[in-house]
Structure 1
Amino acid sequence: MFSCIEPFDTAFRLTDSILVVDGNLTDQETGNYVSLRNSKPSSISSSSSIFEPIKDANVWVLVDDSEKVNLSHFDAGTYSFPEGFKAENGRSYQLFFDLSNGNSYQSDAQVLKTVSPIKKVYQEFVSDGIRVRDITAAGHKIYLDMDEPEGKGDAYYWTWKSYEKQNYCTECYGGRYYRNPGEAEGVCVSDQLLIRYNVTYDYKCEKPCWEIIYSNTLNAMNDAFIDGRSLVGKQVAEVPLYTRNGAVIEIKQHAINDKAYKYLKLLIDQNQNSGGLADTPSTALIGNMTSSTNRSESVGGYFVVSSVHTVHYFLDRADVINGVKAVGFQARESNPEPSGADTTRPPLAPCNESVNRTSVQPINWID
């Protein structure tokens, strides 16, 4: 008897910590960073890990083996590039960092490749099957067309985020929101009756505000089957029907080298395509980082250098079928505080700038 499948033990036990690097450098002035964390076994489960940020590293990038660019610690183990710094086509970039324990690390050198532009973006409404939270719902699939240049070895990945108009900017569970005139922030004041009846009130935004919702899946491909031809109908996003209003979908097309693609493909296989007999078995996701002080040390993660083409596509939800219910931004219906006899209530809430919310109108927004 013969078999083409090599058996492997599926019982994994994490016993050692591992350094994990998440680095991103593009030809854009925003969105560039390096994140350093230690992945340690969880005390609760032997098959899961906890991540501890590394805040005291000395981090820099070497440009064309000559120019040193220092990064500074920003927050929770994340290091930022100097303001305005971005990668340039044809130049090479190599990441280095030293830890406080004396260990040193470096990536391989990567040359920035020019990205092909997105030619067209379009949408398709589906009445079910879009994953949001723990359910499936109605929403839109977003597709694009592009022309792939001749020459094998090109690879791409796509990211997206959705800007959705938000009507409510804060909530109070078991209480009411109070905000004095001129104050930037307000407070929730508890009310025992509202707590008893498990009441949550929502408060409208004082000015236009947009919720920012990010994709949570990886999407990558290489040019093995499309080299020099047009890529038509590539699905790059699934956007749930949060509201019946329109939204702006920011789509980024990244050009990467083949080694980075193989790493992302392995990450996709292990995290998004798991569950079948033909799926790739889990392995340590070792990327392009190595230790210069201990060659036997395994380092997880990847430092990715990519050029980016960005499109801001307005998602017109006029094609939504009547009677289809929007899922909203929370797992419940909005519940504004009743006005009552007090004409000063309810107060409006500020639209606080964060990675998940902005008062800056997105590009190509249509009211």
Structure 2
Amino acid sequence: MRFLAFALITFLFVNLLTSCVDPIELTLNGTVNTLVVDGTITNRAEPQIIRINRSKADPLTGRFGSVPITKATVEVLVDSVNVIPCHETEAGSYQLPSDFKGQIGHSYQLRFTLSDGTHYQSTPQIMPAVPAIDRVSSQYNSASLPVELALTGGYRGGHDVYIDWKDPANEQNYYRWEWKLWEKQSWCRSCQQGVYAVNAILDHVYKDKTFYVSGDALYENCFVPTNYFEAGQPPFTTGLYVYDYPCRMECWEILYSSALNVFDDQFSNGGLITKRKIAQIPYYDSTACLVEIRQLSLTKPAYSYFKRFQDQTQTTNGLTDPIPSAPVGNIQNLGNSQEHVVGYFTASAVSAVRHWIDRKDVIGLPFGQTDPTGPSKLPGSELFYSLNLRQPTPEPIYPYPNIRILGGPPRPVTAICVPSDSRTPFKPDGWQE
């Protein structure tokens, strides 16, 4: 899932990468150039996405960056027979057909070719079954977030989430947990060096050297003017500025877990497992939220990979710690066995349960009220601060904004909630307001 790609790339950026047994051999002299792959086939009716990026260090400065791999040919081989092609939905993200979902007991293998003709493939993965989650509960904890995941200023408040489930007897089971969080969003667009325009702005049309002129065609985007040095064009404003625009419709921000959490049932095989803590949900906002807890099955090799990765990210606390290595996954360059690829392609059955957190048990302030400059009285400012570390700056009525528009809806305008994997205008199932 998307959180894993973030975790893998962050791991490469933050840590000094050297070699032990099997890990990547990388140095810090600006030569890091590593392919990072994240993909999990599930048995749920949901987008099945493969993400391919390259972690690179600038040869001059040594600074790390992530570059999405575009224009690759990506496919999944099912049961060694059926080839399912993927299409690129955004840079570095390749999605299987919308009606595709995996099946327990079937085999899946990732194959892809980069635009330069380099071929890669994973080992085949057979999807194991996963037991259902029986119960979900949550409790506020002022020190919920691990130290390494603390928010700005060391803030660690959040809700610990626990689950119960019956572990199958007489078989070895391996688990991984993820979460997906919906928070009510009140601010839908930020425009830097521009203003939000509902309608398209007419090219080279001005009024009184003061206004840009709106047309009738829908635009719904930030308008950032280009300086054509024309006599009638309004003057340009120097200096950086940003205007934030409230949502025109209901909108929800979607946030994802960013830490690995895996489990081996060797000491509880066949038992009822209760109050297993599997998530920490940050206390961003004083209003209620909805979280989906996902329990995924893993094969033993996949568990070993993720467990090693989890142990390394949790035990690296400072410069005095041993230098960790980035685990090499199950994807190989077919023409160059010496190239190490980070990431693991898996096939996992999923049990998912949505849980409403009303946050009525909280003592203390949410992170969104910890701004050193003081809180804002604007609606939705707590979540806005949590995500942006600043307060919203609405387009002013007077003094006039830096860019003025003639025509179109009265200003300041509102912005639409654009559907994406991090935002939705559709009320999520389980939302209780």
TM-score range, shorter chain: 0.7 to 0.9
Once the 2 structures are TM-superposed, how far is the Cα of residue 203 of structure 1 from its aligned partner? 3.2
Which ranges in structure 2 are unaligned for 5 or more consecutive residues? 1-19, 200-215, 226-233, 370-381, 401-408
Distance verdict in 2 for CA 1:148–1:185, change over 3 Å: same
> Is 1:320 the equivalent of 2:362?
yes
Q: Deviations over 1:120-154 (max 9, x none)?
A: 11111123554334541432111111111123431
Paired AA for residue 136 in structure 2: V
- Deviation larger for 238-247 or 291-300: 291-300
Q: 1:42 aligns with which of 58, 65, 74?
A: 58
Structure 2 partner of 1:155: 174
Does residue 132 of structure 1 match 2:151?
A: yes
TM-score if structure 2 supplies the norm length? 0.72
Residue correspondence of structure 1 range 260-275 to structure 2 within 5 A:
260-275=302-317
C-alpha distance in 2 between matches for 1:217 and 1:102: 34
Deviates more, 1:171-180 or 1:117-126: 171-180
Residue number in structure 2 paired with 1:365: 431
Asked if the contact 2:26–2:32 (Cα under 8 Å) also holds between the matched residues in 1, the reply is: no
Deviations 1:264-297 (A, max 9, x none): 1121122233127997752242111123333333
Q: 1:321 to 1:199 in 2, by over 3 A?
A: farther
Matching of residue 332 in structure 1 with residue 390 in structure 2: yes
Does the Cα contact within 8 Å between 2:176 and 2:298 map onto a contact in 1?
yes
Per-residue CA deviations over 1:98-121 (Å, capped at 9, x if unaligned) read: 344444322111111111111111
Q: For residues 200 and 42 of structure 1, do their structure 2 counterparts lie closer, same or farther at Cα, with a shift above 3 Å needed?
A: closer
Distance of 1:148 and 1:72 partners within structure 2:
37
Q: Equivalent residue for 1:20?
A: 36
TM, length-normalised to structure 1? 0.83
Q: Equivalents in 1 of 2:217, 2:121: separation in Å?
A: 51
RMSD: 3.5
Cα distance in structure 2, aligned partners of 1:173 and 1:16: 33
SS in 2 for 1:255: strand
Q: Which residue number corresponds to residue 421 of structure 2?
A: 355
How far the C-alpha of 1:189 sits from its partner, in A, is 8.1
C-alpha separation in 1, matches of 2:85 and 2:192: 45
CA distance 1:17–1:345, change in 2 (3 Å): closer
Q: 2:284 aligns with which of 242, 262, 276?
A: 242
Output one character per residue of 1:309-330: Cα deviation in whole Å (capped at 9) or x when no partner: 1111111112223666644232
Give the 3 Å change call, closer, same or farther, for CA 167–297 of structure 1 in structure 2.
Answer: closer
Percent sequence identity is 34
Seen in structure 2, the aligned counterparts of structure 1 residues 90 and 179 have a Cα distance that, compared at 3 Å, is closer
Correspondent of 1:301 among 330, 334, 343: 343
The question of whether the paired residues in 1 share the 8 Å contact of 2:37 and 2:50 is answered with: yes
Shift in Å at residue 235 of structure 1? 1.8
In 1, distance between residues paired with 2:340 and 2:365? 54
Counterpart secondary structure, 2:315: coil
Matched letter for residue 18 of structure 1: T
Q: Given the superposition, is the C-alpha separation of residues 319 and 105 from structure 1 closer, same or farther in structure 2, using an over 3 Å criterion?
A: same
Say if 2:164 is the partner of 1:164. no
- Deviation of 1:184 (Å): 5.2
After superposition, the Cα gap between the structure-2 partners of 1:261 and 1:278, relative to the gap in structure 1 and judged at 3 Å, is farther
**Relative to structure 2, which stretch is displaced further, 268-277 or 314-323?**
268-277
Query: Structure 1 137/188 Cα, relative in aligned 2: closer, same or farther at 3 Å?
Result: farther
Match of 2:71 among 34, 42, 56: 56
Give the residue type in structure 1 aligned to 2:75.
Answer: W
Q: In 1, distance between residues paired with 2:37 and 2:396?
A: 49
How many angstroms apart in 2 are the aligned matches of 1:324 and 1:67? 50
The alignment partner of 1:265 has SS state of: helix
Q: Is the 8 A contact 1:169 1:350 kept in 2?
A: yes
- Answer yes or no: is 1:145 the counterpart of 2:187: no
Q: Distance in 2 between matches of 1:88 and 1:27?
A: 5
1:285 pairs with 2:327:
yes
Letter paired with 2:336:
N
Structure holding more helix per residue: 2
Q: Distance in 2 between matches of 1:105 and 1:62?
A: 13
Distance 1:273 1:76 in 2: 33
Letter in 2 for 1:208: E
Gaps of at least 5 residues in structure 1 are: 1-7
